[in-house]
Structure formats: C-alpha cells, structure tokens
Structure 1
Amino acid sequence: KSYENRSIVADGARVHLGNSITAEDLSGFSITMAILYLVVCIMGLAGNSLVIVAILKLDKMSSSTTVYIFNLALADGLFMVGLPFIASQNFQNDWMFGDVACKVVMVLDGINQFTSVFCLTVMSIDRYMALSNPLRFARWRTPRCAKVVSAVLWLFSLLTILPMALHFSADQGLCIPDIASNAWWLGILSYTFVMGFALPFTVMTASYAALLITLRYRLRSSPVNPDSHCLERQVTKMVVAVVVVFAACWLPFYTFNFCSLYQTGLVQDFTRAFEFAVLLSYSWSCANPILYACLSDTFRRHFHTLLRPAKSPASMHFLP
C-alpha cells in the first residue's frame, strides 16, 4: 500500500512540502498524523493478536473458516509492523533506515497487504460454500485444504508485489520508487488497483450476493423456521459490513493515487487528504478483527474468556 502512496512523493508534493507550508502547520499536522498512526498500529496489533491467540488456544484451526481467519489476522498483524517506518518517514520527511531496509519494508508491506485482501476474498467463497451446500463442498472446506490455499495466497502475494517493491530505493533520502515514466507508473497503479481492489471486491460482492439469494430462497421454502430467519439476518449484517468497510477503507486510497498522477503542483489540502486516505487504508486491518470476530457472538464470548481466564472455555464455533 505504501509503495503506491509514494506516487505523490514522486510528483513532488511531499518532497517539497516544507517549501510551501509553514513549520508550525507542518509540525501540528505531522504530530497529529503520528499520533493517529500510533493508535492504528496499537489497535491493529492488539486486535489481531487477540484473534490469533483465540484461534490457536481455543480452536486449534479445526475448520477451514478459522484457518482463513488466522491467516487474515496474521497478515493484518504483520501489516502493522511496517507502519512505524512509514509514520517515521512522513513525520520527519526523511528515511533514516537505509536502502536495504527500504526494500525489505516495502516487500513485507506489500505481501501482508495483498495476503490480507486475498484471504478476505477466499473467505467470501468459503462462506458461500459453507452455507449454500455444505455437503457438496465438504471436501474443499477441510483444514488441510484451507492451509494449502493459504500457503498459495502468501506465495502469490510475494510474486505479485516483488517486481514493484524492488523498484524502491532510499538514494534520495526518502523511500520512494524509481519511476521510469508517468505511463509506467499508471500501469503499476492500474495493476495494483485491479489485483488489490477491483477483482477482490467483485468476487466478494458476487459471493455474498449469491449467498444472500440462496438463504432467502430457503427462507421462502421454510418460512416457519426461526433459525433460518436468525441466520439470514446475521449473515446480511455481516455481508453489508464487510463490503461497505472494505470499499470505504480502500477506494479513497486508490482514488487519490490515480488523482496524484495529474497533480502538477503542491496543493496542501490534497496532500493532507492523501495522508488520511493512506491512514484509512491501514485502519482496515484494525476493522477485520471487529468484522470477523465481534460480529460473532461465540467469538465475543471467547475474547471474554481470554481476557478473564477464570472461566473454562467451551469449544469454539465460528460462523460457518
């Protein structure tokens, strides 16, 4: 994600920021952003760590759903590790960690970002298979199969991001990409937009729409079943939350990236709005533990068990 954020750096908006903004304004804004980055980092690490511990301690990844949730939480948690480096550069307008660290941080940042998005996408397909026809798709929803799919997602994320991330260097005092031309950068942005947003969003929307249609069809077939009504309402709330939050966190980020290509001069409001869009995309990793944990009554009970271990935990039953 942060590699695309540097498009605005390459266009000069961040590099020459100090020439057009007073030191007082820059200091106040930078301090505010640094605090927000710190809050997002702490919340993301704490929330995703809690999900990981809950799965390893109480469930032991006994289902495909929890395998995907575990990998999602792991990617989101590791995603937060690179946040202090990005915040430090934004705060000081300088990269002080060296060229090797620049490439490593960008590679890890990209791998965890794409793995998180891909896991979320596969989970939408897994949830459709679980609720539409569990017997038919049973062999595809084993923990072993989910682990293989998750490993492939991590490898695919590495292959997806590696060619772009290695173009980063800290030769000019900032960890920024070496841009050959605007056409080259437009191609990179288009590629990452399709792979990191458009395609996953389309798959998620289609999977969840098919799932809701299937559940409502069953509801008409057996309208007296209260369990079906309860499941349909729960899944509907979760689907709306997932799709809306994913779009709200990522669409502004990609929109600003494309707009930055046509930003010829320094516009303070645009620069600051871009910074918030980047922060918003990072905050998506904080939202995942809420969406995939707190929306589940059972997950909430087990969070309570971990935080207050005096009571013995029951077996976990995640939303299928």
Structure 2
Amino acid sequence: MRRSILRRAAALLLLAACHGAMAQAWPSRPIHLVTAFGAGSASDIVARMIAEDLRAAFGQPVLVDNKPGASGIIAAEAVAKSPPDGYTLFLTTNTVHSGNPHLFKKLPYDPIKDFTAIARVCYFPFVLEVNGALPVKSVAELASYARANPGKVSYGYGNSTGQVASAAFNSLMKLDAAAVPYKSSPQVLTDLIGGQISFTFGDLASSQAQLKAGRIRALAVSTEQRSALAPELPTVAAAAGLKGFDLAAWVGVLAPAGLSEDIRARLSAQIGAMLARKDVVDKFTAMGAEVAPADGAAFDAYMKQQLAVWGRKVQDAGIQPE
C-alpha cells in the first residue's frame, strides 16, 4: 500500500514538473493576436502596439490577425474554438463582449465562459461626427438640419458603441435618421467623408487625421464628462439636454477558456508593465485613448459588470435584437 501511494505521489510530482516546464517553455513559436476589426481601426492600432511589446518581451513573433465582420462575431468564434495554449490571443472590445449579447438573439460564443481574461488595456471616448461639408457646427444645428430634411439624413456604425450611441441619439432627439451598418469603423469614415452618410459616433483614434484635415467635423463627446483628450468639445448630454447620455468603449486582451494560470499571469504582468511606461501612455493619449490597466481577475469582474451595463444601454436605445 505504501509503495502504491509513493508511486502515485511520484507520478503527480512528475506531472507537475512537466506542466511547469511546459509553461516555462512558452512561447516557443509565433503567437497570433486576433482583432475583431479591420486595419486602421482603433483596436487594430492598439493590437499592433501590444504585439510589438510582446514580441520584444518574449522573443517570438506576434502576428496581428484581422478578422472583421459581423460585429466581431467571426473573430470571437474563431478564438473561442482555438486551443487554450497561449498561441491565440484576442484583442477585443465592448462590442464583442458587452454589446453583442444584447444586440443578437443568438451568438456562437459565450462572452464570459468561453474566454480567459488577461488584461484590460484602455478606454476610447467616442465623438459625434458629421461630414465636413454638412452645414452644421453644433448638436443643435445637426438636429435642426435632420428635421428640416426628412428622409435625407442617415448614420453609420461599424461597432456596437457606434450603433448604440447613434441609435440612442437618433431616438432621443426624434431625428428619424436611417441606420447604415458597416463591417468596421474605417469604412464608416470613408462614407462619412464621401457624404453617403450624415453622421456617426466614432473613436478619436481612427478619426484624428480626418478631423485635423477638416474632412469631418466633431460636435460633441459621448461620455458624461468632457474628455481630457478633446476638452474643447461639449458632451452630448449637455449640448442636447440628454441627461445620462454616457457611452465609451473599452479594449482588453483575452485568450480561449482554459488558459493556464502561469501563461495568463505572464501575459497580464507584461501588458501591465507596458501600460505603466510613460512613452506608451503618451502614445495612447496622442491617438485618443485613455490607458486603463487591470489584471486578469479585475478585468474578468469588469467584463461581467459591463455586460449588465450594456444591456441597459441597448434597451434604453430602443434597439431590438437581431
């Protein structure tokens, strides 16, 4: 009996040692960082910054894999079905894990159970934007223009933040603007510049160049308080008298469910260290993002809280699940 117990104990110790060795050996080949939106989008910009930092830290290539379409569902499903070995990561947003569960009747993934939370990265304040040639320079003027041109005003969106913010604004302001969905935010900007749509709620990161060039015009920020990133802009809540209008986007890194705690901890610590560097904070600020680091456990709790918050936002916007 004693020999049997000793053999089992030795086997367990050997298994634990092998597991530890495997964890320490990671990564031994390239890592794929999947994003739910296209090249040039805010999440794509962040993904490439993180990929370069992880490459330098771990000595393996980190390849950004853009999988746009279906509001991030394509990317989320692909990651959820990948092995939890640390070689597939997901640079995700509130669109995929906070908004989609309330915007679609059925999803091929569970926003919480199918993923391992690694780290929250940042927030993106959204801005109400119009075509630069549109004769409006304030929220009030946009509302007046829309009411004076029934059937001629539309809004576009390429993510759930843009969809919910635009739908809520359209409904609360009683504008009767038509909704136009896109695969990703860069396509929204292209058509906004071209005049195919009248307005959108876009993130500062992907809009800055067009704003500076005057091709599009920013009217207000979607957050409840003015943003330090665009202090000259009023809030939609104040400019339109819409008390409680408060929408922003979050970005974080996930992996498939079942990722080992060792790998999770290493990734979380590295991303946290990256976000603590002043040069990185300055880059995020310059692109219109606010650094908001949180480790895996804190990010997991935050995702669950945001899932409930976005349920209320979607309901308030009057959006029916597809």
Per the normalisation by structure 1, the TM-score is: 0.29
Per the normalisation by structure 2, the TM-score is: 0.29
| Structure (1 or 2) with the greater strand fraction | 2
